[in-house]
A and B are shown apart, each in its own frame.
Chain A
Amino acid sequence: MNIPLSWLQEFVKLEDVQEFADKMTMSGTKVEAIHSKGKELSGIVVTQVTSLVPHPEADKLAIATVTDGSKSYQMVTGAKNLKEGDFVPAAMPGSVLAGGMSVQSKEFRGQISEGMLCSIEELGYTPTDYPEAVEDGIYVFPSPPPLGSDACKALELKDDVIEFELTTNRPDCFCLKGIVREAAAIGYQTKEIPANVSSKKDTNAVKVTIENPNACFRYVARIVENVKIAPSPQWMRRRLTLSGVRPRNNIVDITNYVMLEQGQPLHAFDMDCVAQNHVVVRNAKDGEQLAGLDGSTHTLSGKDLVIADPTKALALAGVVGSRDSAISNSTTRVIFESANFHGPTIRQTSKSINLRTDASGRNEKGLDPNLSLTVVNRCMELIEQLKCGTVIEGWVDVYPNPVEGHTIKYSPDKINSLLGTDIDPKEMESILNSLEIETKDNTAYIPSFRKDIEGEADIAEEISRIFGYDKIPFAMDSITVIGEKDPRQKVEELILSTGAFLGLHQIMTYSFENPGVFDRLNLPANHSLRNTVTINNPLGENSIMKTTSMGGMLSSLSLNYSRRNMNVALFELTKIFTKTQDKPSEHLTLTIGMYSKSGVDFFYIKGIVDTIIKALGINVEYNQSDEYPYMHPGRTGNILLKDSVIGHIGQIHPLVCENYEIEQEVYAATINIEELLPHIQLNKTYTPLPKYPTVTRDIAFKIKQDVSAAQIEEAIKAETNSENMKIMESITLFDVYQGKQIEEGYKSMAYSITFRHPNRTLEDIEVNKTIENLLGVLKDKFNAELRG
């Protein structure tokens, strides 16, 4: 909300605007900015045209001689609206115009111009702000100010506009009156905002019926006749403009002016458009249409409230009037509406027709119904002051359930102990009184315009914000809770730091995505991942919660690939969402994805997965799998933890890579962390270092190609760790060879096996015996042959 400083200064005694802004901000009325209007203007004076002759060399120019009362100047102008005797603003050499343009003496076709005569635009305003100004013409003062005086002052071109950022709980602050009230509370000397309280007299000139008293709490109507539509005076237009409201005509301007001054929107109807002089406040009919002043025709529903006459709707209550009943140049009789509406109803309408107006913005917050009569009477005062018409005596006031203020008991001790302060109860009282809250015996009498104050905590806030948050001391509480990370947090941290150590970059993707992801992943129509939790009101195409993190990973890899980032290895720890009978479930998932020109293959990513899993203190196994449509059927495995599948790993299917426009082998893995969690072993205990030395044997044998490393390893383990000889410590596959020296269909596998006995030094002879047995087993089982 914007308020011109000059207007505010009429009611608040303030010198230092920055200090005022800071104080208001620190007491809860935040000043967002101070805009200096016309700041750059300088050197523009009031002059009179003493002669006006055509330019001898140019048809379109004229030479004006102007005087500032003591000296004459020659000015060249292109404007057509001047005549001798006119009072005009002249920018003297060295002066500065709007936008910072500086004026110097200049020659125009052989004629010197000692400065420049100014239009209203050159002074930073428009003819809307100064209706007497001629578009593209020199501004001519309608009533002459003293010659040689500052034109900026005469036109009131300079002002500071204070922009307030207000919170929604304080609709009473959205006006001059509210700001003045707050200024008074923090110690500024203030003057009362005009409030006319004439005694009540009924009138029969208009009839008002409220059909829905749950949506319209009060409706006051007053009538003005013999209206003469004209522009409102300059001081009013100026205040409107600087406050951000476009001036229209005297009647509409008065309603807006009073809204800015007192906080309640008003509306003016052309009375000749109101059938039977009868105003009806009712709900709209479904499908009812209204051609709004905003230029659109709105289709309404039964939820919307309209102001109507017995035949038609005249306005969307509290939001916008209709074109048909609007004030026009021919209007002679006006009904002034001052009404109070149910905020949420107004907000619903404003949202459903997608129209926010100054009126709806205020009405939707819920205003004080006790304002309605005051503001309409204030309008009448201005009608008389501006001589816009004849105010008809009396008014109609329909106010079925008058609202009164309420009382709240408060305890100064409790407030001090909530704030951690030691504020004197007397000071509390005087703070409340300064906010127009009366007090007696620890009871606060809350006026009806402060509906936001509901309980003692609100009283505490009022006291503390005026007392000053900065005066509340800094203290530390004595609450001691043992801060411990839970296993899930520890696991997350461990995964993230291990992943980063291993060269992976952590990514973050949205939790929802486009359902097209399933086609890109080549999932068949009935695939279970397509059973998603769906967003009813998505932003664009991202309408489903992720059931797999693979799409997000591939999109991120794809973006990097398209930007020619050559070596990319990413990981993400994120939730995926599964539909259930009840509340959708959320699973923390680790996803790894990578591509590179060299060095990345299945075993590279498998090594990374193994290392991360090992960091968590668990071991997993793998088995070959071709069940994932987006994975390479021959280069993919399940990740198994105690025989249950917790994830998968492998190469992304080349067709899926094509869908993501990555022309390289992509490897990825995904693991459901929820399934890992119960098995994770983070508590470490020390195992004594072994006392006896190891014996290592390397063996290589020829074996059928289709025997897997896992099968061989299992057989070796079974043999070397038999009941009475638990001596094998580790087994490492260090070479797999297929080629010239091995016949077709076979491969050579070379293992390094390390033995150790926990209680004594092993003898060669027993190790040799074990190896012999082992080779026997491998021969029996797989027909393996020892190689030289």
Chain B
Amino acid sequence: MQNRLEEIYAQAQSDLKQITSLKALEQFKIGVFGKKGQVTALMKELGKLPKEERPAFGQKVHELQTKLEELMEQSRATIKKEELTAALERETIDITRPGQGFSLGRKHPLTTVMDEIKAIFFGMGYKVVEGPDIENAYYNFEALNINANHPARDESDTFHLGDYLLRTQTSPVQVRVLEKGNLPIKIIAPGRVYRPDEVDATHSPVFHQIEGLVVGEGVTMAHLKGNLLTFARELFGANVKIRFRPHHFPFTEPSAEMDISCFSCETGKSGCKVCRGEGYIELLGCGMVHPRVLEMSGVDPNIYTGFAFGMGLERLAMQRYTIGDLRLFYENDIRFLSQF
């Protein structure tokens, strides 16, 4: 009897070595513990034994049962591990194949640069204000101290729409804000402007400007310089140098043009495409708001002073992305748009 138990165990050990699948293991289990299984048969025999032998033999069969279960458990663990390894092997993929093609859209490069500029001024406490594209001569010229004889007033330099016109600059927004009289004022006014310039690589009849206006008590030209230096550093990096050159605009006095050190060559190398060897690039026009402009909009120039500045977005974007032809912005070729 004892031998049979040992035989069963030895047989099981050797059988299990051959088993490599969970299915076969299940078959094996049935062969051992099933209705006609070996261990089941032993249990049946137990009944036939003399009463006094039964506990000892029962004990042995139970031990065998436990040992066999352990063996099967080991085998199951091994098989599972092997099957997983095999499965992982099968599932190996060529990870160098291309990823799924999602199409990422883009904002227009002019929007991107505009957003960047807006964010800088927003961080400096400026409010963003917009105005209409269709204006009248008062807002576009008169209120900005551009009198009827000024060259900018030439019929042929403005698109006319009967009694109205397409604004030639974003400065009318200044006037509208001043007129409301909620002082102090600290705004930027981005927007579309229009001039009848024939289309070429650097001209477009439609383009964008960003205008800034700060008016309050005690606003000085030093503040103008400080604000614009901060702006230039945010936009072009902390090392950018700026310079202010005296200039002339009808709506500011004193007036200046602000240049920034060339971000491409930095030193003014001859042959630099960005600054043409000058070392500086013109960035914007600015100045202290002309007292007459304040006065015309009902702001007392004896109490309030202010500064204003304005820049062209297209030129800035062209410099930033080294785009040589302004027409690309309005052509909308997706191969261009998807680069930014």
A and B from one assembly? Answer: yes
Tell me the minimal C-beta distance from A525 to chain B in angstroms. 23
Q: By the criterion CB–CB under 8 Å, are B230 and A510 in contact?
A: no
Q: By the criterion CB–CB under 8 Å, are A474 and B229 in contact?
A: yes
Q: By the criterion CB–CB under 8 Å, are B128 and A489 in contact?
A: yes
Contact with B along A468-509 (1 / 0, CB 8 A): 011011111101111111101100010011011111111111
Q: By the criterion CB–CB under 8 Å, are B332 and A560 in contact?
A: yes
- Which residues does chain B contribute within 8 Å of A503, judged by CB atoms? 102-105
Q: By the criterion CB–CB under 8 Å, are A420 and B220 in contact?
A: yes
Within B137-186, the residues touching A (CB, 8 Å) are 149, 151, 154-156, 159-162, 164, 166, 184-186
Q: By the criterion CB–CB under 8 Å, are A457 and B105 in contact?
A: no
Q: Is B108 an interface residue (CB 8 A)?
A: yes
- How many of B's residues come within 8 Å of A, CB to CB? 82
Chain B interface: which of A26-34, A220-228, A309-317, A641-649?
A26-34
A417–B318 Cα distance when bound, in Å, is 38
If A470-B244, A537-B155, A565-B333 touch, does A479 touch B106 (CB 8 Å cutoff)?
Answer: no
Q: By the criterion CB–CB under 8 Å, are A479 and B107 in contact?
A: no
Tell me the minimal C-beta distance from B178 to chain A in angstroms. 14
Q: By the criterion CB–CB under 8 Å, are A419 and B186 in contact?
A: no
Q: By the criterion CB–CB under 8 Å, are B219 and A479 in contact?
A: yes
Query: Majority SS of interface residues in chain B?
Result: mixed
Q: By the criterion CB–CB under 8 Å, are A502 and B151 in contact?
A: no
A440–B337 Cα distance when bound, in Å, is 62
Tell me the minimal C-beta distance from A587 to chain B in angstroms. 11
Q: Is A267 an interface residue (CB 8 A)?
A: no
- Which residues does chain A contribute within 8 Å of B161, judged by CB atoms? 533-536, 545, 584
Q: By the criterion CB–CB under 8 Å, are A457 and B108 in contact?
A: no
Q: By the criterion CB–CB under 8 Å, are A30 and B245 in contact?
A: yes
Which one, B107, B192, B205, B247, contacts A496 given CB within 8 A?
B107
Which one, A464, A496, A542, A563, contacts B254 given CB within 8 A?
A464
Chain B interface: which of A123-131, A162-170, A275-283, A367-375?
A162-170
- Which residues does chain A contribute within 8 Å of B338, judged by CB atoms? 505
Contact with B along A3-32 (1 / 0, CB 8 A): 000000000000000000000011110100
Chain B interface: which of A136-144, A288-296, A567-575, A726-734?
A567-575
Chain B interface: which of A258-266, A343-351, A678-686, A777-785?
A343-351
Give the size category of A's interface with B. 35 or more
If A461-B253, A481-B184, A556-B332 touch, does A507 touch B222 (CB 8 Å cutoff)?
Answer: no
If A167-B248, A464-B221 touch, does A483 touch B254 (CB 8 Å cutoff)?
Answer: no
Within B97-152, the residues touching A (CB, 8 Å) are 102-108, 110-111, 115, 121-122, 124-128, 130, 132-134, 136, 149, 151
Q: Is A44 an interface residue (CB 8 A)?
A: no
Q: Apart from A458-B253, A469-B246, A479-B214, list 16 A-B contacts with CB within 8 A.
A: A26-B243, A28-B246, A347-B151, A351-B156, A418-B221, A457-B291, A475-B222, A496-B111, A510-B330, A511-B194, A537-B160, A539-B198, A539-B205, A556-B332, A571-B105, A586-B133
Binding site for A on B (CB under 8 A): 102-108, 110-111, 115, 121-122, 124-128, 130, 132-134, 136, 149, 151, 154-156, 159-162, 164, 166, 184-187, 192, 194, 196-199, 205-206, 214, 216, 218-223, 225-227, 229-230, 243-248, 253-256, 288, 290-292, 305, 329-335, 337-338
Task: Please name 21 pairs of A and B residues whose Cβ atoms are closer than 8 Å in the assembled complex, sorted by A.
Answer: A167-B248, A344-B149, A418-B221, A464-B221, A472-B221, A481-B126, A481-B187, A483-B122, A485-B122, A506-B108, A508-B332, A511-B133, A536-B161, A536-B162, A539-B197, A560-B332, A563-B335, A568-B334, A571-B105, A577-B133, A583-B132
Give me the 4 closest cross-chain CB pairs, A-B, nearest first.
Answer: A420-B222, A420-B220, A28-B246, A461-B254
Binding site for B on A (CB under 8 A): 25-28, 30, 167-170, 343-344, 347, 351, 417-421, 455-458, 460-461, 464-465, 469-470, 472-477, 479-486, 488-489, 493, 496-497, 499-512, 533-539, 542, 545, 556, 559-560, 563, 565, 567-571, 575, 577, 583-584, 586
